[in-house]
Amino acid sequence: MSKFSRFSRLNPQPITRGIRASALIAATFQAYNAARLREGAELFCRKMLPRNGTVGVSLTGALTPAGLGKSCLIPLIKAGFIDWIITTGANLYHDIHYGLDMKLYRGSPFLDDVQLREKHIIRIYDILFDYRVLLDTDAFIRQVIAGPEFQRPLGTDEFHYLLGKYVHAREKKLGLKDTSLISVAYQYGVPLFTSSPGDSSIGMNVAAMAMAGNKLQFDVNRDVNQTAAIVYNAKRTGHTSSVFILGGGSPKNFMLQTEPQIQEVLGLDEKGHDYFLQITDARPDTGGLSGATPAEAVSWGKVDPNKLPDAVVCYVDSTIALPLITAFALDNIKPRQPKRLMAVRDKLLARVQADYEKSPYYKKFLDR
């Protein structure tokens, strides 16, 4: 047996005109972070998506204002490739601009920001839009959350589901179709959680409305238990639980903490997520979670140690990696039936609640 028998020969063919993005990845992404991206795309398609596995996506960084919601995340949801999402409130806030047909522009990172301020132009690196976009989006959110169905505590998934209903209605009125992530998540029953609901313009408007007597409150306890219930149900029904992490930060931790919540806090038998794919530009040696490796996550019970070989970290900008992985997946995998987890959220939570009440951890808690 050759000492290289378990390795593939590195012998790419020349790139030709008209090559598809998926073929480019498979044929020419041979080494370094290009190879990690290819391995990540193959992991997503060959192990995370098959056999009706549950796929959760976390995303940080200003991806939706850059159009990644419309170009990548919406097609993945419509193909049944994303089952639930944790993101920042900022990503959902800027996503709403698209659903309201507001204009964002490709600009430059080298403009004079003092002049931009004088002209009432907002800059997100090289994305530009008018200050009125913020004011009009704020007004839309305040008008929506003044409605009677919002006058109660809501998990962020239910809050975004209801908000998405109104964004979808506005899209239809404007003659738009599938321009907003929050709208498409509503249509396909994909839960959208925010790990820090007060940390965005959406949360700011909710806080301001509370000062005016609005009764909306975010039920963060429900979010913690509901996200754990999604993972717990996947594992207890014989399916896999996979995490696809774009960036890091609080959404990454909120997605990965589902397993410690199940094991460490609720005392239920579990081993960790099955598959781990992360796109990041953060280093692990600074101690931040954004750069923490899946091997480190094993020590917390977040990732199944037996599945560690099926973990890929690709050090590249999400705005580069996500379109390529999306193209690879859509070319190689047939669409799946959407799980529509929003429709069964109460049932999933009731299951983990019932099993927790049978655990010794629950009895110890009551005996205190």
Q: Does the residue 70 lie in any domain? A: yes
Number of domains in the chain: 1
For residue 188, pLDDT beyond 70? yes
3-class DSSP state for residue 217? strand
pLDDT of residue 305: 72
pLDDT of residue 7: 85
Domain containing 129: what range? 32-356
Residue 11 burial (CB < 10 Å; 0-12/13-18/19+)? exposed
Q: Does the residue 1 lie in any domain? A: no
The CA-to-CA distance between both ends of the chain, in Å, stands at 62
Count of C-beta atoms within a 10 Å radius of residue 289: 15
Contact 183, 161 (CB under 8 A): no
Tens digits of residue pLDDT in 201-220: 999 999 999 999 999 999 99
Rg (CA), the chain: 21
3-class DSSP state for residue 368? coil
3-class DSSP state for residue 182? helix
In DSSP terms, which residues pair with 86 in a beta bridge?
58, 193
Q: Does the residue 17 lie in any domain? A: no
Q: Does the residue 3 lie in any domain? A: no
Residue with tokens 């193209």, as numbered in its chain: 327
Q: Does the residue 365 lie in any domain? A: no
Catalytic residue among 235, 252, 302, 339: 302
In DSSP terms, which residues pair with 243 in a beta bridge?
56, 276
Q: Does the residue 106 lie in any domain? A: yes
The mean pLDDT of 151-180, rounded to a whole number, is: 97
103 is a catalytic site residue: no
pLDDT of residue 287: 67
pLDDT of residue 357: 93
Tens digits of residue pLDDT in 247-270: 988 999 999 999 999 999 999 988
Burial string for 291-309 (b: 16+ CB within 10 Å, else e) reads bbebeebbeebbbbeebee
| Strand pairing report for 127-130 and 241-246 | unpaired
Tens digits of residue pLDDT in 21-39: 999 999 999 999 999 999 9
Q: Collect all residues with Cβ–Cβ distance below 8 Å to 221 and sequence separation of at least 6.
A: none
Q: Does the residue 276 lie in any domain? A: yes
Q: Does the residue 19 lie in any domain? A: no
φ/ψ (deg, to 5) at 183: -70, -45
Across the chain, mean pLDDT equals 93
300: CATH: 3.40.910.10
φ/ψ (deg, to 5) at 233: -65, -40
For residue 299, pLDDT beyond 80? no
For residue 5, pLDDT beyond 90? no
Tens digits of residue pLDDT in 65-113: 999 999 999 999 999 999 999 999 999 999 999 999 999 999 999 999 9
Spatial distance between the Cα atoms of 214 and 156, rounded to a whole number of angstroms: 16
